[in-house]
Amino acid sequence: MGLRTKPYQDLQTNEIGIIGIPLDENSSFLRGPAKAPQLIIDAIASDSANYFTENLIDLNEHPGVFWCGNVPFINYLDISTPVDQILEAGAIPFTLGGDHSIAFPIMQAMAKRYPDLNIIQFDAHGDLYDELAGNRHSHASPFARIMENGLAKSLTQIGIRTMTQHQKEQGERFGVNVIQMKDWTSDLDLQIDGPVYLSFDMDALDPAFAPGVSHHEPGGFSTREMITIIQKLNLNIVGCDVVEYNPDRDLNGVTAMVAAKIVKELLAKLL
């Protein structure tokens, strides 16, 4: 019972391969997200819930979805390697982090297969700093690296509520569509033509709903609001990540269950 398992090297066309990247070395404030991937999978398997998505897809032993386990420790920029292999098989990568810095090497792989890739980023933070504390690969910087390297045709950020002057200038430099939380309305049109990669930072949610994150930034989405947004997406989604769950700050595993719910509803969109 549970999600089927197989090595990511054995994935086949149109299968969804969930891989864990247990890396948090680029976290600027607290460590902990490296512990997250297996705990999210454990929450999906929890007897307190079931394997059904809200549109009644049963993920229990679903023939198209596989948990491929945590990728053995690799150097930061080598994170692109397993994603490359998943894409070469014609499968769909779904990555569990880890901190948000993993988005840059993931996108290095994604852009090779999808040169016209668009990104939607759900996040409290823009992650557009040129560097933070001297680290150009900080989890505060991946989308600066992505955009300056031309790895995405467009970047849309949703839920931002930590804007700074530097990040505003970076957003303008890279032509980012920044939808700050203060400007969010449920009738905003998220139609995007072409392939879309969806990057989901758990702190897009208000810490009242997801306390298990390193950076508590009040004023975010409720879990219900976020699920509704995901369910209404009508996009060609070609890959996903869910990052920045920090079990060390969680309360009774509630954030693990929220992350599991988000993963399940994203899988429903991919399926």
pLDDT given at position 26: 63
Task: Return the bridge partners of 19, or none.
Answer: 95
CATH architecture of structural domain 4-270:
3-Layer(aba) Sandwich (3.40)
pLDDT given at position 37: 97
Sign of CA dihedral 229, 261, 49, 10: positive
pLDDT given at position 72: 86
pLDDT given at position 151: 96
Nearest Cα neighbor of 143 from 113, 165, 173 is: 173
pLDDT given at position 141: 82
pLDDT given at position 73: 73
Per-residue pLDDT of the chain (271 residues; tens, 9 = 90+): 799 999 999 999 999 999 999 997 767 777 889 999 999 999 999 989 999 999 999 999 999 999 999 998 778 889 999 999 999 999 999 999 899 999 999 999 999 999 999 999 999 988 787 776 776 776 668 899 999 999 999 999 999 999 899 989 989 999 999 999 999 998 888 889 999 999 999 999 999 999 999 989 999 999 999 999 999 999 999 999 999 999 999 999 999 999 999 999 999 999 9
Tokens 């019972």: give the residue: 1
pLDDT given at position 134: 79
What's the start-to-end Cα distance of the chain, in Å? 19
What are the sequence ranges of the domains in the chain?
A: 4-270
